Chains A and B, each alone.
Chain A
Amino acid sequence: MPARRPGGARRARRATPYLLIAPMVGTLLLVLGYPLVDMVLLSFKDMTRKQLFAGTAPPWVGLDQYRTVLSDGFFWEVVARTVAFAVVCAGLTMLCGLAFALLLRAVSAWVRVVLVGVLVAVWAMPFMVAASVFRWLSDADYGVVNWLLGRVTGADFRGHNWFSDPWQGFAVIVAVVVWGAIPFAAITLHAALTQVPAELEEAARVDGARGVALFRHVTFPMIRPLFTVVAALSAIWDFGAFSQIWLMRGGQPERDYYLLGVYSFIESFAVNRYSVGAAIALVTVVLLLGGSAVYLRQVLRTGEVE
């Protein structure tokens, strides 16, 4: 607690944090708050192109859109697929990210520099490019993956289509998502690992802890808060995955490839049922809020624990 100061200065000091955060809050309200409110309202109306073109107000229909959406079996199928997709992607991202982070700690300085350079290059690659590259790699007629598999296994992979079976198709999509997400996880976790005091691990080693046990009981607890935050963030991002699927299915995803984001987009802008699309998007937001609760709790807790 600082020494007492005259009242005016103290009030100014108290106001400073609010002033500092005001631009961010203002921007968020503008770019996220307004569209969000608009979307909530839209989901309780029945908006079609007629109202869109004429600029007239669409009729209120109350909970009708939600009733339609929530009573549709296909919607729940998409929800389940989206959750599974997010869990698998986030899980793989964290596993691979952690492995890379540990590797970075173990290798010599110049290898580390090269590895970090590669990771940053991957990170810097736009979704569009990455998705196109993976799409070509797995192309049925000209893809190098089929060629390589044919070479390695001796089986005939010519013309094998990776996307005709959604399990295989999602394997490719998960690969591109995880590939793009590893750098963030790896670099962040590596940063956390560098903060683990060397004396702590040394002491544990003196006490006889080795390998997995050392990592599990000494190192990991030190980085767990950050690990949880990155995992939650990955899950949230993967939950909202859209562009990878859209691009890899050439802008025409089959129903087997619908995740919530794709479903909402198709309902809104292909079928022009704007209100149904809004309702789906809103349910998505609610589900995401559930996921964010974990993230927020962790952030709050890291503030408390010392």
Chain B
Amino acid sequence: MTRTVRGVVATASAVALLAGAAACESGGGGSAKGSQRLTVWLTVDAQESWPDLVESTNTRFAQQHPGVDVAVEYQQWTTKNLKLDAALAGRDVPDVVEMGNSEVVNYLVNDAFAAVDPANYDHSAEWLPALKEPCELNGRTYCVPYYVGARVGIYRTDLFQQAGLSKAPDTYPELITDLDALKARFGAQDHAFSALYMPGRYWYAALAFLKDAGGDIAVKTGDQWKSALSTPKSVAGLKAWKDLLDAYYVGDRSKDNGDEPAVVGQGKVAMFYGNTWEAEAAADPQSGGDPALKGKFATFPFPGPSGGPLPPFLGGSELAVPTKSKNQRLAQDWIKLFTDRTSQQRLIKANTLPNNTAQLADVDPAGVNGSAAKAAARGWVTPPAPGWVAVEKANILQEMLEDIATGKHTIEDATKTADGRIDAVINKN
């Protein structure tokens, strides 16, 4: 072997090692330090939909606590908890954190958040159970409800008209008749047209059918949670969901609803099940929507096969103060302002539902969110089990539903597999 080839080998190896070492570097975020600085982690929803509320809260807070600097940092839902875990393991923690109501329980059982006194907050006696219950542990409250959203049926008024339909369906048989009419009118000419948009991994929708049939995700006996997806009622609900999907959805079944507004914006969907803001997003070019669709969406309480409205998942947010925060008093004052009566009014204007039943009455019943307010009474939340967050993050439900939707496994087999996987993690901290 010549000297030069050896040189090439040596150089190549060195380059490879360096590249390998570089790949191991990882980025880390931290929060600022200092006793007179309050760090608030909100998710991007606040930045996109009610930045003025954050602004006005900070102004009001500054009047009460002059000299305290409030730094609001916006987080993505997908990466927020990883960053939070890293921050909580250290000393520099945020003082206020926004948490999803289905992910907060695991943090409570692991002593991550400080207790708060509900009496200090507006309307705390009327807090929505879907937001209040995840915050409670052993008789104490560890987070403050922020806002909630409920999914509703959303349809294209122009397509309804063209198909000869005059109004939104009130009952499940009416829904089926309408979907048949839409499918016959548009689906025959366009193979990419879905009368109903229902991707396979859309677990908030699928589990709403499970709940409608009287099924449960998991049940608690004693202090142990057990997954109940393969019980007859749960299976019956998933069957109804699968039938609907088979009949009216033609798109990719292994997707989730992450890009729903963009897909609806393509114009090949007549009806979908979603948050009310998604109707606006579908007409907003910034989120992939089509501005030509502006004003062509209306909402209705999505009827369930059982006869009532389909029970919606009440996905919402809480605000919590980490135990390690050095500014707990200030943090609680900030949350108090951010969630008080006036702030909730602003949130209602942004088409969310308020954190309490008293102000639910303020939601305009004829408005875009009126249907959501109506459906919210039947709303459900994910099981407040210590290990629930692991169930969500390990995509157990999504995989089960994808297997059902694509026909890879029968409903019975897929739910049994999921039960086994859920039972393995649901009771663990």
Contact = CB atoms under 8 A, between A and B. Distances in A.
Contacts of A191: 8
Interface stretch (B122-130, B246-254, B333-341, B345-353): B246-254
A230 B1 contact: no
Given A49-B429, A270-B394, A271-B393, A164 B408 contact: yes
Contacts of B256: 250, 252
A159 B9 contact: no
Interface stretch (A50-58, A102-110, A208-216): A50-58
Interface in B173-196: 191-192
Interface string B321-348: 0011000000000000000000000000
Interface residues of A, number: 49
Interface residues of B, number: 52
Interface in B251-274: 251-256, 258, 263
A107 to B, nearest CB: 21
A197 to B, nearest CB: 8
B89 A233 contact: no
Given A229-B13, A299-B13, A192 B5 contact: yes
B425 interface: yes
Contact of B192 (A141, A163, A164): A141
B393 A254 contact: no
Interface in A266-303: 266, 269-273, 299, 302-303
A195 B89 contact: no
Contact of B24 (A31, A184, A188, A270): A31
Contacts of B406: 161, 164
A299 B2 CA distance: 14
A269 B86 CA distance: 10
B82 interface: yes
Contacts, number: 124
B423 interface: no
Contact of B8 (A31, A226, A237): A226
B25 to A, nearest CB: 8
Contacts of A48: 110, 428-429
B85 interface: yes
B106 A49 contact: yes
B284 interface: no
A198 to B, nearest CB: 13
19 contacts: A27-B21, A49-B107, A50-B429, A52-B88, A53-B110, A140-B255, A159-B251, A161-B254, A164-B254, A195-B4, A237-B20, A253-B395, A254-B399, A254-B402, A270-B390, A270-B394, A272-B429, A299-B9, A306-B1
Given A161-B406, A251-B78, 7 more contacts: A32-B21, A32-B24, A49-B429, A222-B5, A269-B393, A302-B9, A306-B1
User: Which 8 A-B residue pairs are closest in the complex by CB-CB distance?
Assistant: A270-B393, A140-B252, A49-B110, A271-B390, A50-B110, A252-B395, A195-B5, A53-B112
